[in-house]
Chain A
Amino acid sequence: MNLIDLTLTEALEQLRTKKISATELTRAYLDRIEKYSKELNCYITTTPERALADAAESDKRYANDTARTLEGIPLGMKDLFATRGIRTTAASKMLENFVPEYESTVSQKLADAGTTLLGKTNLDEFAMGTFSKTSFFGAPINPYQRTRKLTPGGSSGGSTSAVAGGLALIATGTDTGGSIRFPSAITGLVGMKPTYGLCSRWGCTAFASSLDTMGQVARTVDDATLMLSVMAGHDPKDSTSANFDFKLQTAPLNLKGLKIGVIKELSDVEISGDMKSIMEKRIQDMKESGAEIIEISIPNILDALAAYYIIAPAEASSNLARYDGMRYGLRVEGTDLIDTYMKTRAAGFGEEVQRRMIVGTAVLSSESYEVYFMQAARVRRMIADSFDAAFKKCDFIVCPSSSGPAMPLDSDLTPLEYYALDLFTVAMNLAGIPAVSVPAGRSANDLPLGLQIIGQKFDDARVLQVAKHIEIFAGLDNRPTSVMGE
């Protein structure tokens, strides 16, 4: 068996039983990065020396029985998480050469758990995008049918491309409006947006602070569960971090007697026939396993997109004000201060980032604040309340992760068409509730599709356990060698 095809759980078992060494496993990944990373463009920066040093330490720990939770597991880090001494670009020209002197809480926790860092994965610039096309470093490629140059989704497209293609065993992501779940769905992976506040935001470049959620990309639900158990935890450096103790649960949750909600308002939304039939199949599977399927209502869910595309740009316009060329990052000298600001920001930010900052600035202006920002905030509150009400009637909610499979990178969509792709994901960010996308089936043209399992705040562990059933029902092969057609 190819080392690259081992899941996290399997790899840990082989490492523990000394069938393989961490160095062997890491080398296998480094070789693969060597072979494919140019084609897939899933890494902005690779860190082979660091990876081998990490692996050597892991082998020492396996030898002396001090191995940690994720000892020796090759990891890709979305290039939004600050990594000490390793450049952290947010896929922006603005931060092309920015090397932080601090380590984000999540990347520190993963390092402390024994992972080996392979590099920093590609993404949409400042995580703003759906196809990872806004990256200053060019778009990553979906490993499925890779000659077709499909998108691996965005914004965490570098992470999903790497994990699906076997250039990382697991990877971090961030999800502000679907940036983990959508790319995971269309690359056949398990990707989760945990409860807001479960994983610390400290040290992760901010896009929209009230929505930004740090999460994980993995090949199986068990892998995602184990990874989350390492990433979660209260952080006094993040005031919005929850004081919640995430308990690792891997025992399967019995579907019998569980009430699974289906959102009424989404049933009229046009989705691909494949997605529709896969959703129906998996619902049927759950029914047969004893779950009760009920219809629930989130009346304002179709307004979620509009609210999201006001709140997220508003916060982004504020969060990105710090990139002014004064202290770090790109600086283009102008004739005076204002000219320097304008030239620096015009040169440093790409088109989509600029578009969102302009929208954000507009909706926060004193004449628009009440009609746009406050109105969006009210819609957000209503959506959160509707989810609360729905969870009084059901235990979990199931819904598609996307309307269809991966599209070609050169699809010519308008900004609004791109924004519409977030329809199935943004509401959970607005509500701050956990949602995981799990592989649920394949489209007619053999591309992966995912379903989301959504739960109440801090019910993350059980959300994953329900998702595990979908994974089993679908029974898909997402081993990198088969994905890459080797």
Chain B
Amino acid sequence: MTYTIKGKTGDWELVIGLETHIEVLSKSKLFSGASADYNPSVPANIQVSMVDAAMPGMLPVLNEECVNQAIRFGLAINADITRRSIFARKQYFYPDLPQGYQISQPAEQPPVVGRGWIEIESDNGGMKKILIERAHMEQDAAKNKHDMHPTKSFVDLNRSGVMLLEIVTFLDIKNSENNSFITSPDEAERYLRQIREIARATGVSNANMEEGSMRCDVNVSVRRAGSNEFGTRTETKNMVSFKFIKTAIEFEARRQIEIIENGGAVSQDTMHYNQDSGTTSVMRSKEDALDYRYFPDPDLLPLIITDDQIEKIRKTMPELPTAKRARYIGELGLSEYDADRLTESIEISKYFESAVDGVPARAKGIANWMISELFAHPEFEMKPADLAELVDMTRDGEINGKQAKDIFIKMLDGETGSPKDIANKFGMKQVTDTNAIEKIVDDVIAKNPSQVAEYKNGKVGLLGFFVGQIMKKSGGTMNPATVNEILKEKLK
């Protein structure tokens, strides 16, 4: 069902557009040679070139690596790569903007990444193509710090000039059917998660909202259920968590519905979201909209991209999360849950595939170990080959589950050597010799006649009791499956 909000006069649908900024991973900044490794642990103002500080006479030089990242992302969202695009200056005064302008790509012309789309799970069930209008390159601002002095503010230029990619969804005026854009808070979250996964899989960005490497402006308008018209939208700026985005969308939609139902008209304002109250308020009305005085940056030549460059990047494109997940389920037999967890990041799926190493029979075991044990011990760097060996030993019956766990714990505690070495060292070997097992089974049955009688009278739950006794007697070395089989036979 399409998501609707009930108003006094009927049901309302939502039309949502997102402008998502992701901070792009590159060695140096978009237009300077300073390190782009912006993170809060770096001391302030040390990753700053003369260009980033906007010294007189400094000129921007476009970083080719950044262009390639944009193309990479463009290919991942099925977009047209624009062969010739330009840079423009967006001008305003603020201490976090040393040049007095941000170099960006103007709205009037297609930027490096043109029209594209990604697929998300729709509220109606099934998949839905969300159209993307453009993704453009621009400079991030510096960071103002207001908490270091009672009356002064400070500026950290480390982030100044790091590349942002701004991804803008598309609202096709010719197609107002709600099958190509986001129509609910949940879809907004799924869209953003998908963008994040693509960014991570392609290595374009960490796209982490908490760390500030992903930010979002949310455009919301409402219309009566079934209507084909678009309403007036508002834009809520600078959203930094999925939760806030969902709350803001819903609050903003309800606010607009109330205005319209009370006979008013929504004004195309820029809104501010208040995290504490979960409400939005007008930050800037349409009349006060800033005039950014965009004009083509005369310091930069048009960006020309060749077919060659695109093909080169296409060849190095990694498998994207959606395709990877499908393969894990279809070819490796993982559950949807396991597949989701193992495609959360490129590092995780890389580890997983390195451990599986082309042996599908291992996949399930490796998935289980990773999800239940390795994820719980992120500090423990187990070699993928060691995990594969441990899984293989269990699968081949060389050791049983308990022994595998013991080996893992020993490795966790610092025991060196491969799982096989450790098993040998501590004499851990699963007893699969049926004669030996039968002997112990017989022994346990003989020693517990009353339980045997109860079992035979139907209390089958006692099977576990016998298994426990047997395992205890063998020091946990026996193959539980074989024990079970023999035990059941003998208790018949």
Contacts and interface: CB of A to CB of B under 8 A. Distances in A.
Contacts of A206: 56-57, 299
Contact of B57 (A204, A321, A326): A204
Contacts of A101: 50
A341 to B, nearest CB: 6
Contact of B99 (A208, A238, A240, A322): A322
B238 interface: no
Nearest to B157: A327
Interface string A84-101: 000010100001001011
B62 A328 contact: no
A237 B298 contact: no
B300 A364 contact: no
B141 to A, nearest CB: 13
B56 A326 contact: no
A209 B99 contact: no
B98 A327 contact: yes
A300 interface: no
B333 interface: no
B374 to A, nearest CB: 46
Interface in B262-300: 291, 293-295, 298-300
A239 B293 contact: no
B59 A238 contact: yes
B284 to A, nearest CB: 15
A36 interface: no
Contacts of A98: 56
A321 B56 contact: no
Contacts of B98: 322, 326-327
Contact of B55 (A328, A337, A373): A328
Contact of B295 (A104, A314, A328): A314
Interface stretch (B87-95, B172-180, B364-372, B408-416): B87-95
A258 B57 CA distance: 39
B57 A237 contact: no
Contacts of B95: 324, 326, 337
Contacts of B298: 208-210, 240, 315
Interface residues of B, number: 28
Nearest to B99: A322
Nearest to A364: B293
Contacts of B301: 239-240
A438 to B, nearest CB: 29
A414 interface: no
B295 A369 contact: yes
A366 B59 contact: no
Contacts of A337: 95
B155 to A, nearest CB: 7
A326 B95 CA distance: 7
Nearest to A92: B56
CB-CB nearest 6 A-B residue pairs: A321-B100, A210-B298, A209-B298, A364-B293, A322-B54, A205-B56
19 contacts: A81-B57, A82-B56, A95-B56, A101-B50, A201-B57, A202-B57, A206-B299, A240-B298, A240-B300, A318-B89, A321-B101, A322-B56, A326-B98, A361-B293, A364-B295, A365-B291, A366-B291, A366-B293, A369-B294
Interface of B: 50, 53-62, 89, 91, 93, 95, 98-101, 155, 291, 293-295, 298-301
Given A100-B57, A203-B57, A327-B155, 9 more contacts: A90-B56, A201-B57, A208-B298, A318-B91, A318-B101, A322-B56, A322-B100, A326-B95, A327-B54
